[in-house]
Amino acid sequence: MKGAPVVFRFTVGQLLAGRRLLVTGLLTAFPLVVPALLAAGSGRDPDDFTLDLFRALVLPVLLPVVALTFSTTTLGAEVRDGTVVNLVLKPIPRPGILVAKYLAAVLATLLVLLPAVAAAHLLAARGLGSTTLLSGMLAATTVATLTYCALGVLLSLLFARALLVGLAYALLWEGALVSVAPSASSMSVRGYAEGVLAAIVARSGLDFPARLGPLSATLLAVVVTLLALTLAVRRLERMDFR
């Protein structure tokens, strides 16, 4: 499987080509950093604020948009424009190609999101702040990224407008779910992330109701991720390329 790391490296280069990393990073950090700066001077409890910001902006909007944008283009775009045959006609097993592309999307997403979240936290707390909160947010971000990216890759192999379908799911379905049927949190990636976050953060006294315990949240996230990747591999192996 010597070629798979090459696919990974090459794809990361494609996804973050030119100034894309910088522009996306700044665009994502901006709506987090500005409120954080304002909150720092306002006297509101920084941890409380950051948690709110994370749960209202990062998890529902920024994370899905960035993760789905990267993961639906990492493989889907190449299949659609035909350049994927450059990778398929090589001694690299197709599962290897898929995993490499998936991990590239995950890396790109994390490179954009983690610094932005950390920056917002540090600025709001004017210092290190609650490291529990910080690690909780970073962990939740990672879990959600892993799952959203898997879904995005699968969707990109199934639909031409995968990004739209993914965004409709993340914004409409997960958004509506939060208000209407709390018990269906087990079907929402946002729910898994919140479960992980709540568990880590509970120790520090910050507290918010998460409908999933840490174990079920992690387990579900892993199951959904692996299922999505497996289905994606099967689709890639059976695919006829144009």
Q: Which two tokens mark 131?
A: 């490291």
CB of 222 to another protein, least distance (A): 27
CA distance readout (Å), 196 to 97, 147, 160: 30, 13, 32
Among 19, 82, 126, 135, binds another protein (CB under 8 A): 82
Mapped onto helix, strand or coil, the DSSP state of residue 126 is coil
Q: Is 238 in the site for another protein (CB under 8 A)?
A: yes
Among 69, 74, 130, 147, binds another protein (CB under 8 A): 69
Q: Is 22 in the site for another protein (CB under 8 A)?
A: no
Q: Is 168 in the site for another protein (CB under 8 A)?
A: yes
Q: Is 233 in the site for another protein (CB under 8 A)?
A: no
Q: Among the candidate windows 69-77, 139-147, 199-207, 219-227, which touches another protein by CB under 8 A?
A: 69-77
* Closest to another protein by CB, 26 or 85: 85
- What span, in angstroms and rounded, lies between the C-alpha atoms of 69 and 167? 9
CB of 215 to another protein, least distance (A): 30
Quickly list H helices, 75-213: 76-81, 85-88, 94-125, 131-158, 162-167, 174-180, 189-202
Among 19, 22, 26, 42, binds another protein (CB under 8 A): 42
CA distance readout (Å), 137 to 56, 65, 134, 233: 13, 17, 5, 30
Q: Is 223 in the site for another protein (CB under 8 A)?
A: no
Q: Is 17 in the site for another protein (CB under 8 A)?
A: yes
- What span, in angstroms and rounded, lies between the C-alpha atoms of 161 and 223? 25
Going by C-alpha positions, the residue among 159, 168, 169, 164 that lies closest to residue 224 is 169
Q: Which two tokens mark 212?
A: 């999933």
Residues that bind another protein (CB under 8 A): 2-3, 6-7, 10, 14, 17, 27, 31, 34-35, 38-39, 41-44, 49, 52-53, 56-57, 60-62, 65, 68-69, 72-73, 81-83, 85-94, 159-161, 163-165, 167-168, 171-172, 175, 237-238, 240-241
